[in-house]
Structure 1
Amino acid sequence: MLCLGLSATLLSSACGLPRSGPSRGEIFAGSNFENSNTFVVDVDGRIAQATNIRPGLGFGPAFTGAGRVGSDTISAGDTLTVSIWENVDQGVLTSRGAPTQLQEVQVDGDGDIFIPYAGRLKAAGHSPEALRNIITERLAAQTPDPQVAVARAAGDGATVSVMGDIAQQGVYAIERPTRTLSAMIARAGGVSIKPDVAKITVTRGSSSGTVWLKELYANPRMDIALRPGDVILVEKDTRSYTALGATGHQSRVPFEAQSLTALEALATVGGLQTNIADPKGIFIFRDETPAVARTVLGRADIAGPQRIAYVLNLTEPNGMFVAREFMIRDGDTIYVTEAPYVRWMKTLAALTGPVTSANSIDSLASGN
């Protein structure tokens, strides 16, 4: 009877003891309830492979298929200088030998310019040489054998905006050395954050695309040609996971690399607390996508996102390898349970504590 009474006392005491969260057994038991909407899945090599989904970043064909802007192509907003010589003593604009200088001729929003006696002309999209021929043909009807020169202030109208975590934010001209994304980032002084977590987003009209900075340099197809009006945003990766339970420290942890394994995530927060952690009870709680959930659970009737608690057991022969293969995703919660003996030690301490305190008081009272 004494043993039964002590056991009952231990069990009731254990239920009320402070702890970091549910035990491994409680999580498994909870998933078996009829009204539970959480599945507990033991992770093996197949599960690790099935859940290995990395964020797909990159530019679509609309970006990668665009050619480079010609270094001498005139754009809306450019400023031109037009010089005209006439081969007559009294020409429509000037006399023989004295050129007419039309300074700072602005290409308007429609891409047009106005030249006296030549009228309104389409300039955008042409090279200075092509525009020179067009002006010459128009003026030839007014004055014999006109000579025309067109100069362009490079890049005045062909500009992009660079902002975010960049050394020098600003508006930059697309010139011969800066016609690609990587060259423009370099022109702006480079990124001001760790390259491992830097993302580059380019917005062009109503379309946009995002790429990792490292991918930009590793894959030449991602080093897209820029277009006037592009907006380039450099920002730090915002993904994170939460670490709880018997880990080195409990916190919300940002990703420090493009990909992160469960083993790396645990190491980032100081690993397992060796005095209390249960290496058999490392859980990753996740709202899993329907496609992955169907594969993991082996069920074709899965229609929406599913709550899945993936469990890693580091005591198994391949436990470390599986933890090294299982990828952490944005929003995951990693929870490490306490070892079963810790709960019993807390219970014993709670029971023996009052006895020890009482003995100490008796000793003080008796003067010992």
Structure 2
Amino acid sequence: MFRLRNALACMFVIVLGACGSAYVSPDVSGFGGDDGVQVVDLSPAVVTHANRSAYQPQDLPAAFSRIAGGTTGPRGAARLPDPVFDAQARPGAVELRVPPAVNPGSYRIGVGDVLLLATPRGESTVEELAGLVAAQNQRQGYTVQDDGDIAIPDVGRITVGDMTLAEAEDAIFERLIAARIDPSFSLEVAEFNSQRISVGGAVRNPGVVPVGMTPVYLAEVLASAGGLDITSDDFAVIRIYRDGNLYQIPTSDLYSDQGLQRIRLVDGDSLFVDTAYDFDQAQAYFEEVIARAEYTQSARANAIAELQTEVSIRRGALEESRQNFRDRVEFGAEGGEFVYIAGEVTTPGRFELPFENRAVLADALFDAGGWSASTGNPSQIYLMRAQENSSYASTVTAYRLDGSNAANLVLATRLELRPGDVVFVAEQPVTRWSRVINQITPTVINLGAAAVN
């Protein structure tokens, strides 16, 4: 029995003597300047110096910054010929028929309206709103397209059609926030083109009167058309066509009753000043207005279908280009930039640096699951970087982070990564001894069993 104990002791000593060659653990702390490795403890000043090295993140292809917008500018039908009416004989008095009072509510933005965005000047974020600043300085607005959208540079298409001004402001605000652009702006309607009142007949300037934010009254519409073009108003009548109904106001009643002058008109109303009291002339005018509206609506429907097809084709081409780039990255045909993670971390491997952005030590460290709580030494976290203009691994700076002090982890959120960096977490001393024991134990057991036999 005594000889067995002596034999086991000798074998244990022999195995321990050989353990230096049996287990080799990677380490950094033992290197010095003579080894070509300079170990530097991280501090705010060291982080600032390390981040000064020239580096520009990879750019994404242009297809990732373009949008599938269609052609700009309103689309519409060709101009219809001017109406031609024949004079008619005047009959007797005309019955007064007044249209009912209406309240259309807040103005709603429509196709053809021009919106003007104004942004504050002199702030650092204004340069990011180049398109918006140009609109302010050059008084260039954004026209609402046939699909109800406006197209803002660097932001994209925003749907504002059939919205109030407040609702449009909310929609633009959300898109500016999503695009990470300063959302300070003001919005106004520079040109009212979507809502109109048609005026014809015996007026000096037949045409259309736009409907804006403020109510539009009968007297104002007649004044905008240059006033009545008649020699005597005793038998003249103003006919108003609205929603399939025809109303009429003799001019004699109009001038004697100010309440008639304050009749509110709305989008789609048509006025015809008839000097003959004959429905034939008014009917021809209103039929032409209706035909013009139907023709324009049909042309706009065709234009919208054409625009949707064009956008669909462009979107497909952009997506195909983007997918081709993703496939090239996946198969390694597109050169990626990586940082390599080793040592006592949860998931060793490599961390791909993002496109058009900078990553820091904390990103790579926690992408690998952080250091192992059971085997890693948080006081020995290294970021190793080859010196600039050097392709040989012996000229390396090892930035050491003492993570045992949790406050130092803030430095990991500021130390920027560079392609080819190596993140290494050393093992704890007890981990090294445990691995040695685990490696030699089977050998001791086998030698002990042999000695007994």
TM-score normalised over the length of structure 1: 0.40
The structure with the largest helix share of the pair is 2
Q: TM-score, normalised by structure 2?
A: 0.34
Larger Rg: 2
Which of the pair is proportionally richer in strand? 1
